[in-house]
Amino acid sequence: MKIERPLLMIPGPTICTSEVLRALSKPTLSHVSSKFIEIFSETLKELKKIFLTEKAEIFVIAGSGTLAMEMSIVNICESGDNVLILSNGYFGERFKEICERYNLNVDYIEVKEWGENIQPETVRERLEKKEYKAVTLTHVDTSTGVSAKVKEIGEIVKNTDAVFIVDGVCATAGEEERIDEWNIDILFTASQKAIGVPPGLAILAFSPKALETYEKRKEPVKSYFMDIGLWKPIMDAYIEGRAAYFATPPVNMIYALHESVKQILEEGVEERFKRHQIIAKAFREALRALELQIVPVNEEYAASTVTGIYYPKGVADEEFRTNMIENGVIVAGGLGKLKGKIFRVGHMGTVQPSDILATIAAIENSLIKCGYKIKPGAGLEAAQEILTKI
Ligand code: PMP
Question: What is the rounded average pLDDT for all residues in the chain?
Answer: 97
Residue of 91, 143, 175, 186 best suited for mutating to test ligand 1, as the one with most atoms within 8 Å of CB: 91
Look up the pTM and report it.
0.98
Is residue 348 over pLDDT 80? Answer: yes
Measured over the CA atoms of residue 165, residue 169, residue 172 and residue 175, the dihedral's sign is negative
Ordered strands of the 306-310 beta sheet: 306-310, 342-346, 332-333
The pLDDT tens digits for 72-114 are 999 999 999 999 999 999 999 999 999 999 999 999 999 999 9
Whether the CB-CB separation of 226 and 87 falls below 8 Å is answered with no
What confidence category does residue 388 fall into, taking pLDDT thresholds of 50, 70 and 90? very high
| The predicted structure's pLDDT at residue 130 | 98
Q: Is it the case that residue 271 has pLDDT exceeding 90?
A: yes
Distance from the CA of 350 to the center of ligand 1, in angstroms?
18
Over residues 263-289, the mean pLDDT reads 98
Please report, rounded to a whole number, the percentage of residues in the chain having pLDDT higher than 90.
Answer: 98
252 CB near ligand 1 (under 6 Å): no
Q: How confident is the model at residue 361 (pLDDT cuts 50, 70, 90)?
A: very high
**Span 201-210, pLDDT tens digits:** 999 999 999 9
3-class secondary-structure state, position 165? strand
Name the helix (H) or strand (E) containing 156: helix 150-157
Q: Environment class of residue 243 by beta-carbon count within 10 Å: exposed (0-12), middle (13-18) or buried (19+)?
A: middle
Left (φ > 0), alpha (ψ -120 to 50) or beta: where does 384 sit? alpha
pLDDT band for position 2 (50/70/90)? low
Enumerate residues 6+ apart whose C-beta is below 8 A from 35. Answer: 29
Residue 1 pLDDT > 90: no
Predicted local distance difference test score (pLDDT) of residue 76: 98
CB-ligand 1 contact for 66 (6 Å cutoff) = yes
* Number of the ligand 1 atom closest to the C-alpha atom of 64: 15
pLDDT digits (tens, 9 = 90+) for 230-239: 999 999 999 9
Residue 288 above 80 pLDDT?
yes
pLDDT for 139 beyond 70: yes
C-beta 138 within 6 A of ligand 1: yes
Neighbours of 125 (CB within 10 A): 12
Identify whether the C-beta of residue 144 lies closer than 8 Å to the C-beta of residue 338.
yes
Q: 171 pLDDT exceeds 70?
A: yes
**Is the distance from the beta carbon of residue 348 to the nearest atom of ligand 1 less than 6 Å?**
no
Question: Which mutation among 10, 93, 142 tests ligand 1's pocket best, with the greatest number of atoms within 8 A of CB?
Answer: 142
pLDDT digits (tens, 9 = 90+) for 302-324: 999 999 999 999 999 999 999 99
Closest CA to 135 of 57, 72, 228, 226: 72
Distance 142 CA to ligand 1 centre (A): 8
